[in-house]
Amino acid sequence: MNKLSTIFLLFFISVVVVSAQDGKPKKKLMGLPRYLFPQFTRSNDPANIAMAYTGAAQSSNEFGPLSNPAYLAEMNSAMATFSHIPSLYRSTREITKASNQEALCLVLPLPYGFAIGISAFNLNQGKIQIQDYQTKKVNIYSMGTTQIGVTGAKQLISTQRFSLLLGATTKYLYPYYGFGHGEAFLYDVGMISSWRGQSKWFSLGAMASNLGSDLKFKMNGYPGSDFQEEVFKLLRIGVSGGNLQKKLSGSADPQFTFSLEVQHSINSDEYPYESWNHLNIASECKLFHHLSGRIGYVFDLEKDESHSEFAGFTYGIGMQTPGPINILTPITLSFSYGKGIDAFMESVHVVALTLYFQR
């Protein structure tokens, strides 16, 4: 354990140092692309948000494909999750109800260490009125972002002490802004390796997001104005560890989880938007096997003062039924809440309900 921990720790520190002292020339600052917020900063995974977005090396499995697709391989029961982010704005004459976001995730474990999953989310950004310059007719268009993904995962190594999981998600990204829409076929890849002792566990995880094609925009009613741009790509590497809870049903012995993660954008030097450079820490305390309290902090390591700041505290709770409930089939219910950081340093609140279908 000591040798393995030392190797992982040295590797992680080297990644942090390289990320914090990146010698690349500064990119042009144009804010952050809109689709990044529903994809990541207001992800529909409340546990991930509450834990300061440290999902690369640990996950609640509620939205494994969004945190790290490799997690699906360790699931032993089918799962269905629905989550909701409330609207920030109410209907007025100028602004319709907007910024609500919903997501659905379905996971099915398969024999031989395989698992598959389907996930989808939609961010509603309200409606916009646009007048056709030829007919003078005013049209009303919806704005938002939709993403649909299919995930596959495999448990490559599984022993009593060590496991190695790999996973990948193929996804279709569709941001629509009234005057036009974009589309791209992307993929995420992730891995996680875990060591488990008699009383403690330790894991190392990594995930690369939004790999693949450029985002192609088509403009409504403006022939010849279509364009394409590079998609925001993100690399996340994290470590996590904690103590193992006793298997006794009524044990009050708390289980603690600690996680630390570095996040760094991996776009080309010509990418017009801001870079991403963060270090996040978090912890979770679980009591009686089914009550969880989570808290974390996001550190913004970007040195350019004109960039869009993204930093602060996150927190949340989780609750799960002590045992299965027989509703046609044994079902375990789980509820989670997470408070994170949204665009312009606003707060985002996420709730999720999960059903685990026991075999």
Type of residue at 115: A
Cα angle: 96, vertex 101, 107; to 5 degrees? 155
CA distance 84 to 315: 17
Rounded alpha-carbon distances, angstroms, from residue 268 to 75, 209, 231, 265, 330: 36, 15, 10, 9, 50
- 257 contacts 219 by C-beta, under 8 angstroms: no
Identify residue 64 by its one-letter amino acid code. G
Query: What CATH superfamily is the domain 2-357?
Result: monomeric porin ompg (2.40.160.40)
Nearest to 75 by CA among 62, 56, 87: 62
- Residue 126 neighbours by CB under 8 Å, 6+ apart: 89, 95, 96, 97, 98, 99, 142, 143
Extents of the domains making up the chain: 2-357
Rounded-to-integer distance, Cα 336 and Cα 314, Å: 14
**pLDDT (tens digit, 0 to 9) for every residue of the chain, 359 residues total?**
445 444 444 444 444 444 444 444 444 445 788 888 888 888 888 999 999 999 899 876 667 777 899 999 988 889 999 999 988 655 444 445 678 899 999 999 999 999 999 999 999 888 877 776 677 777 778 889 999 999 999 999 999 899 999 999 999 999 998 778 899 999 999 999 999 988 899 999 999 999 999 999 888 766 677 888 899 999 999 999 998 866 554 556 788 999 999 999 998 888 888 888 999 999 999 988 789 999 999 999 987 766 778 899 999 999 999 888 887 788 999 999 999 987 666 788 999 999 999 77
Q: How far are the Cα atoms of 49, 121, 129, 160 from residue 342, in angstroms, in the given order? A: 10, 16, 25, 40
**DSSP single-letter state for residue 273:** S
Q: Please give the Cα distance from 263 to 276 (Å, whole number).
A: 7
